[in-house]
Copies of this chain bind each other. A is one copy, B any other.
């Protein structure tokens, strides 16, 4: 077994991502010698104890990070500012502070200024997920073949970056360094906008008169079923993502709305060529995805 990347890994928050990392650490043994877990509620802490993937459980974030050489924020991104303030005085000199948030400019804005001198800050985003949440939902193959995007601020210690990269490689991920603003734009179209749309269409269906709503549920064809799968994701996590990637999300949503209006117009005026072209583009993107083995 190779030397563990870290001596002590502290996970702040233990949902789908955090509990998957903990399970991988337990299974492989070479992410960290010790995994410490903290969470917001006693109920979650009790469940983590039952699940048995933590070496130590701490109710207090400050105690959880004390002596850890890697601290990973795994809570919804809206909680990062308060969490960073709570743990900052307890972070060990030379330790690496990282996160798994889906928005990166907001994390750098909220956490960056609170990182003590001598602590290395390496924001990261493992692009992986399911519609499930909580400590029961994690599994050891979640990150296999998926990208982990690292957005370290200029001047970050290369060794700290490499250790976080190595941690994600050992989780099965491919690693890429990216500009935070570019990350947020790409994720807005790839993930945040699709989720916003899925939530919205479920709301649109939910607004229909009672009789129709019952039939929506009854006759949900494959199209709608896929949307509800996406829409089953965690409300607080997604609320925080939308609010913390506001500019990029609003830009992509505006583009999408223009395109949807154009489709609406094509349907109204019977522009068959336009509609066919749009459907063909969907197929083309699908084929490219399959070629890239992401589908």
A binding-site residues for B, Cβ under 8 Å: 127-131, 147, 149, 182, 185-187, 189-208, 212, 215-236, 238-239, 242-243, 246, 249-250, 252-257, 259-261, 263-264, 267-268, 270, 272, 275-276, 278-289, 292, 294-295
Contacts and interface: CB of A to CB of B under 8 A. Distances in A.
B259 A203 contact: yes
B276 A200 contact: no
A24 B219 CA distance: 22
B194 A233 contact: no
22 contacts: A131-B222, A147-B218, A149-B219, A189-B208, A190-B220, A190-B221, A194-B201, A195-B223, A196-B263, A197-B201, A203-B259, A206-B281, A207-B259, A220-B295, A225-B289, A226-B226, A235-B280, A235-B283, A243-B275, A246-B267, A250-B268, A253-B260
B190 A295 contact: no
Nearest to A205: B189
Contact of A199 (B220, B229, B282): B282
B129 A221 contact: yes
A284 to B, nearest CB: 7
Given A231-B283, A243-B267, A285-B231, A187 B221 contact: yes
Residue among A205, A257, A279 with max Cβ neighbours from chain B (10 Å):
A279
A131 B207 CA distance: 28
Nearest to A282: B231
B226 A186 contact: no
Nearest to A78: B272
A141 B194 CA distance: 30
A246 to B, nearest CB: 6
Q: Which of A219, A249, A254, A275 has the most CB of B within 10 A?
A: A219
A193 B250 CA distance: 21
Contact of A202 (B199, B250, B276, B282): B282
Contacts of A278: 199-200, 202-203
A252 to B, nearest CB: 7
Given A228-B295, A286-B232, A203 B275 contact: no
A223 B190 contact: yes
A233 B222 CA distance: 11
B275 A238 contact: yes
A261 B260 CA distance: 12
Contact of A200 (B128, B234, B256, B284): B256
Contact of A279 (B187, B212, B233, B283): B233
